[in-house]
Amino acid sequence: MEIRIVENISLTDIKADVLILPFTEDYKGSVYAGLDDETAGLIKHVLDTKEFTGKHTELTLLHTKTGRVVLVGLGKAEQLTAERLRRVGGKVFISKYLKGHEVISAALSAAIFKELRILDGAQHSAAFYFVEGGVLSSYEFRRYKRPEKDQPQSLKTLTVLDAAQSDNSADSMKWLDTVIPAVSFARDLVNTPSSDMTPTILAETAKSLSGKLVKVNILDAWDAKKEGMWSYLSVSKGSAEPPKFIVIEYYGGPVKMPPVAIIGKSITFDSGGLSLKPADGMEKMKYDMAGGAAALGIIKAASELSLDINLVAVLPATENMPGGNATRPGDVVTAITGKTIEILNTDAEGRLVLADAIGYAIKHYKPAVIIDMATLTGACSIALGNEAIAMMGNNEALMDELKKASKETYERVWQMPLYEEYKDYLKSDIADIKNIGGRTGGLVTAAYFLSEFVTDTPWVHLDIASTAFADKDKPYIRKGATGIGVRLIMNYLLNRHD
């Protein structure tokens, strides 16, 4: 969708199939004074009769001679937040008033936000959040649907009128033009079934991001052996699909500047291996590469924005399958750091691939910061439901920066502890560490396992198992892949380089 901001144009002169007019609850002013008499009369009528009162996410459609007008309720002005605006925007763009009926262009008036000084001083303008929610909600995954015969045209352009002249508007437009499409890009990768999103295909997708500032290097099984990444390789042994260890370098900053390492769990299908998962719900394990997809989305957005920092993304891609050569429970492997791991459950494979990915990033890049994103544990949703990313790490300042980004994007993180006592939970009888803790603390012992491969680099682990895929529609995110992590980390990176 193309988004334009136009200034100094009257409401009557705007040519669009739909005009979107937001109202706060019980609004008595007259920001939309420039409307033609017919439209003004209709609006006055629905307001007088209380057919439309401006309640949060309330919608009313008016047909006028000049076109369609959608009145949108914002709710009480004093209750408006960035997130509530995203939700209203989402509701409008997903509504039947904007879908179908040959609605190709829409115009949104931001006059009321300006008049009531809504969200003055926030990172972006009120109109921005409204549009962000709208664009996110418009995402659809149609790759496997036969095109319908009379499929209605979808919205192509959105014109924003009377936007606030905030200093941030250039940044806002860049966000909408690059970060939101990167979220959709990640969502497409995650929604794609595993047979069409193998490690090889994921690697090809990574290569498609190559460019002047982006170098992609794919390590195959042989290369991984030479690196001593036996922990990673142990996960791929039961699969007929070759593993691909994907490394992407982005150079936007000074040559000597240590990069931010983004590590994304990239299990393209997690059957559990020999510790096989139950049949019920196994189909969802195509989304076990959501961390990797988010990492690719971040590289894509960062390079399109030419961010002046360096990044390295590491995606240890493989399937986790129960083949004749699969890793057996009880096997011991050595990771890149030299630590030995007793594999007691082959379904705890995420930490095995991440241990080597983290070790690889430290060995070859000495990163300033490591951020890993992983659909790591079922225990994540037991602890937090589907509302927040579980965050653990070894550096409070780094976690504070992510909390800030989390507040701004509403991709919420919730910090969980990494007590040193958890070390005991992972004591192996025969190796340096085992890959599962006991029955309790599954979320934190998984993170503790990772910490054993990080040593002292500032590091944060984001368990996105409960947020990367929605089983039902959210206010502005349709069910399916959510693309979580892209907006959070992009916000963090943009704040970091300021």
**Where do contacts with Mn ion occur on this chain (CB under 5 A)?**
270, 347, 349
Give the residue carrying structure tokens 């988010």. 294
The item of Zn ion, Mn ion, ligand BES, none sharing an interface with residue 477, based on CB under 5 to 8 Å by kind, is: none
Instruction: Identify which of 187, 190, 131 has the alpha carbon closest to the alpha carbon of residue 161.
Output: 131
DSSP for residue 142 = -
Contact 107, 19 (CB under 8 A): yes
Q: How far is the CB of 387 from ligand BES (least distance, A)?
A: 15
DSSP for residue 337 = T
Beta strands in 110-221 (DSSP E): 157-161, 214-219
181 or 483: CB nearest ligand BES? 483
Tell me, yes or no, if 277 is annotated catalytic. Answer: yes
**Which of 259, 291, 316, 350: binder of ligand BES (CB under 6 A)?**
350
Site residues for Zn ion, 331-350, by CB under 5 A, read 350
**Which of 157, 168, 217, 345: binder of ligand BES (CB under 6 A)?**
345
The item of Zn ion, ligand BES, Mn ion, none sharing an interface with residue 345, based on CB under 5 to 8 Å by kind, is: ligand BES
DSSP-derived secondary structure for 433-472? EES---SS-HHHHHHHHHHTTTTTS-EEEEE-TTTSEESS
The verdict on 349 binding ligand BES (CB under 6 A) reads: yes
Of the ranges 32-40, 80-88, 207-215, 345-353, which one interacts with ligand BES (CB under 6 A)? 345-353
Classify residue 306 by burial, with Cβ atoms within 10 Å: 0-12, 13-18, 19+.
Answer: exposed
Q: What angle do CA 475, 478, 484 make, to 5 degrees?
A: 90
List 277, 412, 423, 474, catalytic entry: 277
Site residues for ligand BES, 419-458, by CB under 6 A, read 436, 442
Of the ranges 16-24, 266-274, 351-359, 470-478, which one interacts with Zn ion (CB under 5 A)? 266-274
List 68, 244, 351, 487, catalytic entry: 351
Question: Which residues have a Cβ under 8 Å from the Cβ of 3 and sit 6 or more positions away?
Answer: 131, 135, 157, 158, 159, 160, 173, 176, 177
Residues annotated within a binding site: 265, 270, 288, 347, 349
Site residues for ligand BES, 118-177, by CB under 6 A, read none
**Which of 34, 67, 253, 378: binder of ligand BES (CB under 6 A)?**
378
Size of the site for ligand BES (CB under 6 A): 15
Structure tokens at 9: 């144009």
The item of ligand BES, Mn ion, Zn ion, none sharing an interface with residue 191, based on CB under 5 to 8 Å by kind, is: none
Residues annotated within a binding site for Mn(2+): 265, 270, 288, 347, 349
Binding marks (x or -) toward ligand BES, 282..321, rule CB under 6 A? ------x---------------------------------
Q: Kindly tell me the number of DSSP H helices and DSSP E strands found in the chain.
A: 16, 20
DSSP for residue 276 = P
Contact 129, 166 (CB under 8 A): no
**Which region, left, alpha or beta, applies to residue 75 given φ > 0 means left and ψ of -120 to 50 means alpha?**
left
Tell me, yes or no, if 351 is annotated catalytic. Answer: yes
The verdict on 377 binding ligand BES (CB under 6 A) reads: yes
The verdict on 379 binding ligand BES (CB under 6 A) reads: yes
Beta strands in 25-181 (DSSP E): 59-64, 67-75, 105-109, 157-161
Q: Which residues bind ligand BES (CB under 6 A)?
A: 270, 288, 345, 347-350, 375-379, 436, 442, 465
Q: Which residues bind Zn ion (CB under 5 A)?
A: 267, 270, 288, 350
Residues involved in catalysis: 277, 351
